[in-house]
Structure 1
Amino acid sequence: MRVYPLIPWPAHAGISGFESPAAEYAQRRLSIDNLLILHPSATFFHAAPDDSMKRVGIFDNDLLVVDRHVTPRTGCIIVGKYNGERICKIFDQQNKQLMSSDENLQTIPIHDYDDFTVEGVVIRSLRQHQHIKGIVAPSFEYSHLRGGLDDLLLGHPSATWFGIARGDSMQDEGIFNGDVIIVDRKTLAQQGSVIVGQFNGEFVCKIFDKKRRLLLSSNERYPAIPIRDFDTFSVEGVVTSSVRFHFKSSLLSTWPCTH
């Protein structure tokens, strides 16, 4: 999986010499709040309840960013209440049903007698690959945060930069093509850490096998990459989190309810 630096945070902390994939943001300081939030007063967070949505990049306990302001349509991923249970599913408004991303799981019909409400549309999901501070409450309102998400989710803000992942070699780790990865240059890479490294002139995202000097993919279709004495290699940071976009973003040119 290749990585393209998006916007260093702050500018001096990142890697220079690369054209940003979003040139119009080149002069803008990007925070996690900018990345995740569309409508602050209408946003809440909820921990994904299971793995039923993992084929669209939502894994058990991932942090879902849920927007009440967005109108739910067929194909949107929603958080709702279904007969007293909070669920995260793909909403099929036309056929009145709720679907998982796993085809082996049964579709849930919405009958007239069911107690069902849509609480909001999932616009982003955040997956932590390295525990930094963590979220204590399984569900909370964005407006209740005393500080921004930067304070909550980043261990070393001045040493953090963002990149865009390209490829599918890390999808079993929950990093999909087009995801934004959050990289901490101050966190020490341990055995098995997910890292971004510069390998022979390219930025790559891999699992770091320090003991055997290998770069590993989570997708078994890709072979291990040995780090040889004549290779140029440096660790550019540990991937602490990755962000998946399930709704429109001017930053990445994605559109409503893409999954």
Structure 2
Amino acid sequence: MEFSEPLLHLRSERKQQILPLASEHVAAGFPSPAEDYIEIGIDLNEQLIRHPASTFFLRVSGHSMTGVGIHNGDLLVVDRSLDARPGHIVVAILDGAFTLKQLVRHRGVLRLEAAHSNYPPLDLARFGDVQIWGVAVHSIHSLNPSQQISHATQRLHE
């Protein structure tokens, strides 16, 4: 991962910002009658960030995790305070290079696996220096490809 853009860290003192949240769920199958009012509010900080002092945002660059819904250009919310466990999507540093993969225990050995068949698994024992930098807890994906979320974030390469 290159450090061409600064890593975005949250301030420990954050201002609460309540955004409108509709009281009805949106039907992803068959349409349902729409409700024309907003019942409650939602604070995205409370929804996405559990540990502000150890939470960072990283921009994804690459396609190795598309199988789990993480796409090129997505913004990851990464919590460094969490203990990585098999099954977690993690940001790892392998011999000085950042990567985003799923931590997996395979035949008793920990390895990192991509969510795309073009990328082979990475056995952690093959690397001299291995660090699990943080656990990806959310991916923010734009549904409009022409709109990028702020570029003031670090790009995460495969």
- Normalising by structure 2, what TM-score? 0.71
**Superposition deviation, residue 229 in structure 1:** 5.9
User: Are residues 162 and 220 of structure 1, via their aligned partners in 2, closer, same or farther at CA, if it must alter by over 3 Å?
Assistant: same
- Report the CA distance between 1:160 and its aligned residue: 0.6
Q: Is residue 2:50 matched to residue 1:49?
A: no
Residue 59 (structure 2) aligns with? 164
TM-score by length of 1: 0.46
Give the alignment of 1:198-237 within 5 angstroms: 198-210=93-105, 211-228=108-125, 230-237=127-134
- Distance between the aligned counterparts of 1:188 and 1:175, measured in 2? 21
User: Alpha carbons of 1:186 and 1:48: their partners in 2 closer, same or farther (altered >3 Å)?
Assistant: farther
Long gaps (5+) in structure 1: 12-28, 51-83, 87-114, 120-139, 254-259
Q: 1:251 aligns with which of 141, 145, 150?
A: 150
Determine which structure has more spread, i.e. the larger CA radius of gyration.
Answer: 1
| 1:7/1:30 contact within 8 Å kept | no
In the alignment, structure 1 residue 155 sits paired with structure 2 residue 54? no
The residue number in structure 2 matching 1:144 is 40
Contact 1:3/1:166 (CA < 8 Å) preserved in 2?
no
What are the within-5 Å matches in structure 2 for residues 18-57 of structure 1?
A: 40=19, 49=28
Q: Which residue of 2 aligns with 1:85?
A: 31
When residues 223 and 6 of structure 1 are mapped into structure 2, their CA distance, relative to the original with a 3 A threshold, is same
Distance 2:48 2:98 in 1: 24
Q: Which residue of 1 aligns with 2:155?
A: none
Q: CA RMSD in A?
A: 3.6
Q: Is the 8 Å Cα contact of residues 195 and 235 (structure 1) preserved in structure 2? A: yes
Quick one: percent identity of the two aligned structures? 24
Unaligned runs of 5+ in 2: 153-158
Question: What letter is aligned with 1:179?
Answer: D
Aligned to 1:10: 11
Count of aligned pairs: 143
Distance 1:30 1:252 in 2: 21
**Structure with larger RCO (C-alpha < 8 A, sep 6+):** 2
Aligned to 1:193: 88
Letter in 2 for 1:231: G
